[in-house]
Structure 1
């Protein structure tokens, strides 16, 4: 029995490494990056934890440091950063990562197989990792923990309030993908970790999959060995960093430290400072807004924020009063807080919304009083630490008045400084965070080896090194001559290449149609749109798959919810299965798929909705699909996904066509698959039915036969 926890954390976007984090480099490398690295370190220090893997994206890009291409980085004795390939090698902003996340899932499976053990829990951070982590945890049958960090529905609400249209928001932020991923993660999660009470009671409540019993508030911690008021060697270097900007270095500092993001509301802070003569006379303003070489080379959002900042400094003629250094390192951050404290200054965070605000507890630990936005995390921090004042982030007069109230009242400054240092050690240490975190984990799972699949292969699976899986109708069937040619290829490679089918039909119907078309019995049947798995001639069912997908399956409730929905009606009894409810849908009368999903979620029903051929609607358990079934088989039998070739023609094949397996879309495909054109590892053949499958085999040289050396590149990729 394994006596220590193996924990997998997932944080996909941004740039993550164990040391010298480039916080503020861009909108994707901020507080979350620091949070997950510090959490990995803190967990690894606990005696009950055996190993922590932080999975993130591997990046090969001349614009970023080479450290982000290293496959594995050891943080300390028991924690590791594991970088997995996902999509293009270059650095991408998080909003464009969505098409590649299934690949990340497949790479994560490969990593877990290499690790040789199944994690006790998987913890996804932000919507993209929520999508990956929920799918991975479902496949591995382990508890899933989700932390949203910032939530799409709240972001959408705020942007709409600012006057942006939903279409503009979707184009810029891919907000619908984000919200859908958050709904999926919340539906699967056994526990949802929030940093503040407001985050749980207000922001998560906006979701259809909001379940209060799953939510726990565990504030992040601060590294009190780094953040403290005692002078250190780095302080003099940072003082030199600010000297060129400031006319009088003896004044107190008003310090802001954040990435160049419009939501951080730096413009309001500058207005507040510039428009109050007493504040300008009394204090210097220090703006540490990320790192940059050339503003013109930054992304659009960062470029806009920094250009506006410089224009405001010029407009108000703040030269000599405001410092805005271009560069700072990870070790400079604690020194900035110490300099602010030594000067009798204030730390300010007037973000439009603030889910937590790690900088606020760093400042508190360093002895700096704070002025912060009256929202989310700051409300809890000031409530616990009594170390500052809360303001309306859009009220520049109030911001200026509160800064002055602290700067001009020495006794208040001392009280806030002392209270912050004392209370942050009581409420916001990583030690207390991990203790609370693991107490909740213990309540979810026993400290023992979690469920593992029997990895010893059986029968043919023990000797084959690759597997061909095809849809039946209109992929295998449709052209008898082409199918016979494909069958000959399969027979010729029978010993080392397995053959399987993945179909919407049930097992008896699949056997009958294959026999009618002269197809030999497959080694594996994935049937009923991925809700059933059977093996070979014996038809032995994969009972562990049935147990696996039974999670939150409530067919009676599903039928009740959809009974009165116009434009859909149940298919014949012969098409209904234990884990599949099948309808016929009339697109002219029925609600949209989004609305059908919404109705089910409102009824606390978490399912997978599959629509194909513009008329068939299948409702499956959330863990069931053709794609999940393919990955399950790959995991169970230890086969790399690139050694599996899948072929299909319709919407219910999409899940298995996307991801790490090699994929063929036959030429007679349904329009539902048009959106997959251009995706990596998806080949669109120009020939139809089984001839298209043969083209795909040649394209990938999948059977590695001498007579198929030609690529047969008659399609597009």
Structure 2
């Protein structure tokens, strides 16, 4: 089998340069890289197609081809389009038809098409639709994140049409949403990480008539996998001792000397109001028994001491920190809570192993979580989890059998579930064992790759198919960079609108 992964905006190289250090180089790159590498190890062929960049600030992405040393069946193919310099993903839309045309020419010269195109993010999905039209080869679409929900978030406190115009001008939402609609409608299948993502993300009014979130035949749930060479109780990274030293230093700085042997409740997610850190801190504030049994550890990427220096955080994160600090001060939680910076998968895995050694728990109290990769990674290491009942964690924990689920809006429920594990060693061990088994059985990259192979076979047989008559955006039909479409109105999920109510 030969599968081509289309990522115009993603940049791949053998050293994983800039991975997770730039907004365009996030978790979806890990997903594509690991599925492709696993397919290669299974004896199949995988191409990762991205955009070539000739820019002194991005020297890693200038060559036409590249490869991973341990994956001989995987090619990184960089196809040029537009200017040579780096462009953020929002600025790629005028050049996508050029990029797709050059991808076509590459495979025509090889005199062989892949067996499946798989488009990732909106631009990859639109490119896949163009390539299917040219080649007759079906494609799948994985949105990873959808523009309509980001626009809803930006407009959540506004009904002013000027705010819509400003957001659209800055992020080219008109082009992105047209691309998403075409990719959803034309793809043989839409791939999601979880059934919750399908139900909640694709049922936005912006995507009506392009996809029906209730149509089982249009979706395939293929969750990401875990790298068990990193996330395992017995694994050790070359920097394990260094990471443990950082954890101990923060522990000694923030945690009272008489409390340092207590278990750790670990929270690791970005400082976003929807991640709901406040409810977890409030659980500690309201329940003395929880404070007596554990310390709270909040990991904040790039912020060394954010509870004492909140102004060091980016402006959009500061309100979250100010809110947490107010609860800490009101309830005098100083000495039982620590916040510090760690980043990277091997560092995260080392933290989880340390947390397991303390008899601790991982907690994700987000208001809603589409999947929750950190939950699965904690489970893989043997760290029991307490996670939101809203979204993907309900599936990843097997309806609460491999981890405990909580109402994220109820600090008392969060405290109660944490105490179930912290006050009962047998319950702690049972959930640790079941969580690790669940992660091993359900969330391996091999299982993810096998699902793609089945999907490719179903698409080739015509078992799954999209709607080839659904219109493609006009701007990709033009040979020269075209003016992009603009949103004249917007209807948010829930019915509120900016400007005139959008039709369909």
Work out the CA distance in 2 between the residues paired with 1:254 and 1:72: 45
Q: Does 1:105 align with 2:100?
A: yes
1:364 corresponds to: 379
1:44 corresponds to: 40
2:441 corresponds to: 426
TM-score, length-normalised on structure 1? 0.56
Q: Where do residues 249-260 of structure 1 align in structure 2 (5 Å cutoff)?
A: 249-259=260-270
Q: Where do residues 291-302 of structure 1 align in structure 2 (5 Å cutoff)?
A: 291=302
Q: Does 1:54 align with 2:48?
A: yes
Q: Is the 8 A contact 1:273 1:279 kept in 2?
A: yes
Alignment length (residue pairs): 454
1:658 corresponds to: 481
Shift in alpha-carbon separation, 1:241–1:42, aligned structure 2, 3 A:
same
Work out the CA distance in 1 between the residues paired with 2:485 and 2:189: 34
Work out the CA distance in 1 between the residues paired with 2:66 and 2:305: 30
2:30 corresponds to: 34
Shift in alpha-carbon separation, 1:62–1:268, aligned structure 2, 3 A:
farther
Q: Where do residues 441-590 of structure 1 align in structure 2 (5 Å cutoff)?
A: 441-445=456-460
Tell me by how many angstroms 1:424 deviates: 1.8
1:282 corresponds to: 293
Shift in alpha-carbon separation, 1:391–1:674, aligned structure 2, 3 A:
closer
Q: 241, 248, 258: which one pairs with 2:246?
A: 241
Q: Is the 8 A contact 1:366 1:421 kept in 2?
A: yes
2:494 corresponds to: none
Tell me by how many angstroms 1:310 deviates: 4.6
Tell me by how many angstroms 1:366 deviates: 0.8
Tell me by how many angstroms 1:142 deviates: 0.8
Higher relative contact order (CA 8 A, sep 6+): 2
1:77 corresponds to: 72
Residue 353 of structure 1 aligns to a residue whose secondary structure is coil
Q: Does 1:216 align with 2:230?
A: no
Tell me by how many angstroms 1:10 deviates: 1.9
Q: Does 1:335 align with 2:350?
A: yes
Work out the CA distance in 2 between the residues paired with 1:124 and 1:70: 22
Tell me by how many angstroms 1:344 deviates: 1.5
Q: 470, 478, 489: which one pairs with 1:606?
A: 470
Q: Does 1:303 align with 2:321?
A: no
Shift in alpha-carbon separation, 1:9–1:165, aligned structure 2, 3 A:
farther
Tell me by how many angstroms 1:428 deviates: 1.7
Work out the CA distance in 2 between the residues paired with 1:352 and 1:320: 27
Can you list the C-alpha shifts for 1:242-282, whole angstroms capped at 9, x where unaligned? Answer: 22221354332222333455543445444544565444443
Shift in alpha-carbon separation, 1:96–1:442, aligned structure 2, 3 A:
same
Work out the CA distance in 1 between the residues paired with 2:144 and 2:222: 12
Work out the CA distance in 1 between the residues paired with 2:277 and 2:18: 20
1:10 corresponds to: 6
Gaps in structure 2 of 5+ consecutive residues: 307-312, 487-504
Q: Is the 8 A contact 1:253 1:346 kept in 2?
A: yes
Work out the CA distance in 2 between the residues paired with 1:324 and 1:179: 38
2:417 corresponds to: 402
1:179 corresponds to: 177
1:134 corresponds to: 129
Shift in alpha-carbon separation, 1:77–1:304, aligned structure 2, 3 A:
same
Shift in alpha-carbon separation, 1:140–1:674, aligned structure 2, 3 A:
closer
Can you list the C-alpha shifts for 1:47-89, whole angstroms capped at 9, x where unaligned? Answer: 3x1x2111234456677x6434454331211113334445565
Residue 222 of structure 1 aligns to a residue whose secondary structure is coil
1:67 corresponds to: 60
Q: Does 1:197 align with 2:195?
A: yes
Can you list the C-alpha shifts for 1:8-58, whole angstroms capped at 9, x where unaligned? Answer: 1123445544455756435444332221111111221223x1x21112344
Work out the CA distance in 2 between the residues paired with 1:61 and 1:309: 37
| Larger of the two Rg values belongs to structure | 1
Can you list the C-alpha shifts for 1:569-617, whole angstroms capped at 9, x where unaligned? Answer: xxxxxxxxxxxxxxxxxxxxxxxxxxxxxxxxxxxx613586xxxxxxx
Residue 144 of structure 2 aligns to a residue whose secondary structure is coil
Tell me by how many angstroms 1:656 deviates: 2.1
Q: Is the 8 A contact 1:235 1:339 kept in 2?
A: no
Work out the CA distance in 1 between the residues paired with 2:84 and 2:274: 29
Shift in alpha-carbon separation, 1:414–1:552, aligned structure 2, 3 A:
closer
Q: Is the 8 A contact 1:260 1:290 kept in 2?
A: no
Residue 607 of structure 1 aligns to a residue whose secondary structure is coil
Q: Is the 8 A contact 2:104 2:134 kept in 1?
A: no
Q: Does 1:349 align with 2:364?
A: yes
Shift in alpha-carbon separation, 1:293–1:321, aligned structure 2, 3 A:
closer
Shift in alpha-carbon separation, 1:94–1:674, aligned structure 2, 3 A:
closer
Work out the CA distance in 1 between the residues paired with 2:278 and 2:269: 13
Work out the CA distance in 2 between the residues paired with 1:17 and 1:321: 42
Q: Does 1:382 align with 2:397?
A: yes
Residue 314 of structure 2 aligns to a residue whose secondary structure is helix
Shift in alpha-carbon separation, 1:608–1:429, aligned structure 2, 3 A:
closer
Shift in alpha-carbon separation, 1:244–1:58, aligned structure 2, 3 A:
farther
1:529 corresponds to: none
Work out the CA distance in 2 between the residues paired with 1:23 and 1:370: 26
Query: Does 118-127 or 219-228 show the bigger shift?
Result: 219-228
Q: 114, 121, 136: which one pairs with 1:119?
A: 114
Shift in alpha-carbon separation, 1:16–1:275, aligned structure 2, 3 A:
farther
TM-score, length-normalised on structure 2? 0.77
Shift in alpha-carbon separation, 1:378–1:69, aligned structure 2, 3 A:
farther
Q: Is the 8 A contact 1:355 1:377 kept in 2?
A: yes
Q: Is the 8 A contact 1:25 1:290 kept in 2?
A: no
Tell me by how many angstroms 1:675 deviates: 8.8
Residue 145 of structure 2 aligns to a residue whose secondary structure is coil
Tell me by how many angstroms 1:312 deviates: 4.8
Tell me by how many angstroms 1:184 deviates: 0.4
